[in-house]
Structure 1
C-alpha cells in the first residue's frame, strides 16, 4: 500500500487438539484407536447426540408458574 500501513494477512488458528482429545477420549469414552479412526463427520455427529435438554418453552414455564406460584411477600 502506498502509505506503508499494509497489515499482515490473518493467520488461521491452530486446531484445538487438546479439546478434541478431551471430548473424544473423555466425554465420549472412545478408545484412542476409535478416536483416530473417526472421520470429522462422525466426530461431529457423536457430539451432536450429546446435547443437553431443550430449553424450557414459554408455555411450559407458564404451566410451572401456575402449578408452583411464588408465595408473595411475607410480612
Structure 2
C-alpha cells in the first residue's frame, strides 16, 4: 500500500539512462558538467519534448492511403 492510501503500482519502469545520456552528451553535445546540472524539465525542453508536433493521420487520409496502396 502506498503512503497516499492507494494500491502500490505492480511494475515500475527503470529510468532510461542510456537514452538520456545519449541525447544529452552525444546528440546535444552538452559538457558533462552542464548535463548534470540540468533539471529534468530543462533537459526535456532542450531535447524537444515540448515542441509542437504535426497532427496525426486523419480517417479520410488513412482511407485514401488504403485505396492508393491496397496491399
- Structure 1 segment 2-17 matched on structure 2, within 5 A: 10-17=10-17
Gap regions ≥5 residues in structure 2? 1-8, 56-71
CA distance in 1, matches of 2:48, 2:16: 18
Unaligned runs of at least 5 residues, structure 1: 1-8, 56-75
2-structure distance, mates of 1:47, 1:31: 15
Structure-2 residue corresponding to 1:43: 43
The alignment yields a C-alpha RMSD, in angstroms, of 2.3
Higher-Rg structure is 1
Q: Which runs of structure 1 show a deviation greater than 6 angstroms over 4 or more consecutive aligned residues?
A: none
Q: Which residue of the partner structure matches residue 21 of structure 2?
A: 21
Q: Distance in 2 between matches of 1:11 and 1:24?
A: 27
2:47 match: secondary structure:
helix
TM-score normalized by the length of structure 2: 0.54
TM-score normalised over the length of structure 1: 0.51
Aligned residues: 45
